Amino acid sequence: MKFVLYSLAVSALLASCGNPAVPDSETGGKTAVDETKAIKLNSADLFNGEKVRLFLYQNPKANPESNKLFLSALDEFKNKKNLQAASEGFKASLSEYPSAKAYYELGNVYMELKNYQAALDAYSLAEKLGYEPFSKVLFNVACAYSQLKNFPMSADYLQFAIQSGYVNIENIEKDKDLANLREKEPYLYKQYMDLALSGVSDVENLHWLQFKRQFVQASFPINLNTEQGKVVYDDKNRISYDYERFVSEMRNERFSREVSKGFYNFVQVAEKPNYVALIYVIKEEFNGDQSPLSYCLVTFSKTGKLIDKKLIAGREDYSEMLKMCTVNKDLTLTITNYETTFQKDPNEEGYYDNPIVSKKKIDSEKYRIDASGKILYVEGKTFAEAALLNGWLINVL
């Protein structure tokens, strides 16, 4: 079984890290993060997407010292079996230069230490940085989920691993890290193994996996507001039209391709047994760097089918209210709407080179992502508005 996966450059994958929300024109030309200032990484920053992205943006070439530290840590891990020294060594290597191979081996160390959630975090960065063979990362993720007894996720990733080229079936049948899945959910294990080996939906699954792979895991809370740093939206993190089935805005009301807008990957908010939640960015390309940005929260089924979506931050046009949003780790989110006042009268001067001088809070709305992936209103609107948003049925006497 052979599959051809799209080749994704490291810079393209990491350009989606971070938490920007609005262009400079929204902040009066001020940003919270200065991208020209040299970024240094320490052990506390290794899973901070914003800092990793900026570091690699500023340092596109690998650091030889990082490789020396990596090889020393690998010796501690593979030969001396000193897990603590190996862990510290890989972290030191990553602080010098965050590489896919170091994240991958750090994930393996965490597996040996039985810190399975940390292993998932490390494998996620290895995956986003383009570790090869890709199938091996997916297999190890399946093992970590099996140890965490998250069997639906383990079965999903086992299927993905086989479909992307993992062919060591004997190892799958014997690997101790998959024992929980094999023994406690034998029917689920057999079902997904049969699907993977029969080749059912291979192309569709891999297409969805490649789309999802571009979104780096979010760090919480996600604050989409005017205090965030600016990120450059360009071809490095642009969503290709190859993935238009996952981005409905790529087709306009006449069902032709929407060429005036640009679409960019941002972050993966959550991956649950029943859904995956992503945020992507929409930009009106014809307005250039002065374009307002809008941030869309979208939930998909585990096979890439759209469940729900909502515009949660920014705005499509400067004449509209500005939305700011905070997304919390418990998957609740607060959207605050503001009226903005510009330095010059937009009716006479337009919005180009016209910074915001003040913002007036209008109202707030609270939402949450439920277990099925629906984005549900919680509070902040009238009952009638909430009923309309959530699709409640109301009997009118």
Q: Determine, yes or no, domain membership for 2.
A: no
Q: Contact, 356 vs 342, CB < 8 A?
A: yes
State the residue for tokens 């760090």.
219
383 burial class (0-12, 13-18, 19+ CB within 10 angstroms)?
A: exposed
pLDDT over 50 at 357, yes or no = yes
In what helix (H) or strand (E) does residue 100 lie, and over which residues does it extend? helix 100-112
**154, 249: one domain:** no
- 141 part of a folded domain: yes
Q: Is residue 397 part of a domain?
A: no
CATH code, domain with 40: 1.25.40.10
Single-letter amino acid code for the residue at 1: M
4, part of any domain: no
Please report which confidence band the pLDDT of residue 249 belongs to, taking 50, 70 and 90 as the band edges.
confident
Domain count within the chain: 2
> What average pLDDT does the chain have?
81
> What phi and psi, each to the nearest 5 degrees, are found at residue 352?
-70, 130
Share of the chain above pLDDT 90, in %: 45
How far is 241 from 243, CA to CA, in rounded Å?
5
Is 94 domain-assigned?
yes
Give the model's pLDDT for residue 145.
Answer: 97
What gap in Å lies between CA 166 and CA 140, rounded to an integer?
11
| Paired residues of 333 in beta bridges | 327, 367
Residues 287 and 330 in one domain: yes
Q: Is 214 exposed, middle or buried (0-12, 13-18, 19+ CB in 10 A)?
A: buried
Helices 151-163 and 186-198, axial angle in degrees (round to 10): 20
Rounded CA gap, 263 and 107, in Å?
Answer: 32
The verdict on 62 and 169 lying in the same domain is yes
367: phi then psi, degrees, rounded to nearest 5: -135, 170
In a domain, 5, yes or no: no
| Domain co-membership, 97 together with 200 | yes
What backbone phi and psi angles, to 5 degrees, belong to 280? -120, 165
Domain match, 334 and 372 both: yes
Q: Which helix (H) or strand (E) holds 364?
A: strand 356-369
Mean pLDDT of 92-109: 94
Is 181 part of a structural domain of the chain?
yes
| Res 25 pLDDT > 80 | no
Q: What is the mean pLDDT of residues 346-352?
A: 79
Q: Which of 212, 240, 257 is the last residue of a domain?
A: 212
Q: Is the pLDDT of residue 88 over 70?
A: yes
141 and 288 belong to one structural domain: no
Query: How confident is the model over 55-69, as a mean pLDDT?
Result: 88
Question: How does DSSP classify residue 178?
Answer: G
Task: Using the predicted structure, report yes or no on whether residue 12 has a pLDDT greater than 50.
Answer: no
* pTM for the whole structure: 0.67
- The answer on 160 and 116 residing in a single domain is yes
Block residue for tokens 């993935």: 243
Structural domain includes residue 362: yes
DSSP bridge partners of 223: 326
Q: Which two tokens stand for residue 96?
A: 């010098």
Cis-peptide, bond into residue 292, ω within 30° of zero? no
- The answer to whether residue 77 scores a pLDDT higher than 60 is yes
Q: Which residues contact 251 (CB under 8 A, 6 or more apart)?
A: 244, 257, 258
Answer whether 28's CB lies under 8 Å from 64's CB: no
Look at the block and give the residue holding tokens 């959550």. Answer: 270
In which domain, by residue range, is 340 found?
Answer: 216-390
Residue type, 303: T
Same domain, 30 and 172: yes
CA 61 to chain centre: 24
Specify whether 53 is located in the same domain as 189: yes
Out of 186, 212, 238, a domain closes at 212
Average pLDDT over residues 90-118: 95
Query: For residue 197, what is the enclosing H or E element?
Result: helix 186-198
Q: What is the DSSP string of 275-337?
A: -EEEEEEEEEGGGGGG--EEEEEEEE-TTS-EEEEEEEEE-SSTTSPEEEEEE-TTSEEEEEE
124 lies in the same domain as 273: no
Query: What are 78-84's contacts with CB under 8 Å, separation 24+?
Result: 83/109, 83/112, 83/113
159 and 302 both lie in a single domain: no
Based on the domain organization, do 285 and 239 belong to the same domain? yes
**Strands 261-271 and 216-217, sheet pairing:** parallel
Percent of the chain whose pLDDT exceeds 70: 79
On whether the CB atoms of residues 284 and 316 are closer than 8 A, the answer is yes
- Of the listed ranges 17-26, 221-230, 271-280, the least confidently predicted one is 17-26
Q: What letters, b where the CB count within 10 A reaches 16 and e where it falls short, cover 291-310?
A: bbbbbbbbbbebebeebbbb
Single residue among 176, 194, 212 that ends a domain in this structure: 212
If one counts every other C-beta atom within 10 angstroms of the C-beta of residue 357, the result is 11
| Among the listed residues 318, 355, 353, 325, the one whose alpha carbon sits nearest the alpha carbon of residue 339 | 318
What is the tens place of the pLDDT at every residue in 137-186? 999 999 999 999 999 999 999 998 988 888 888 899 999 999 999 999 99
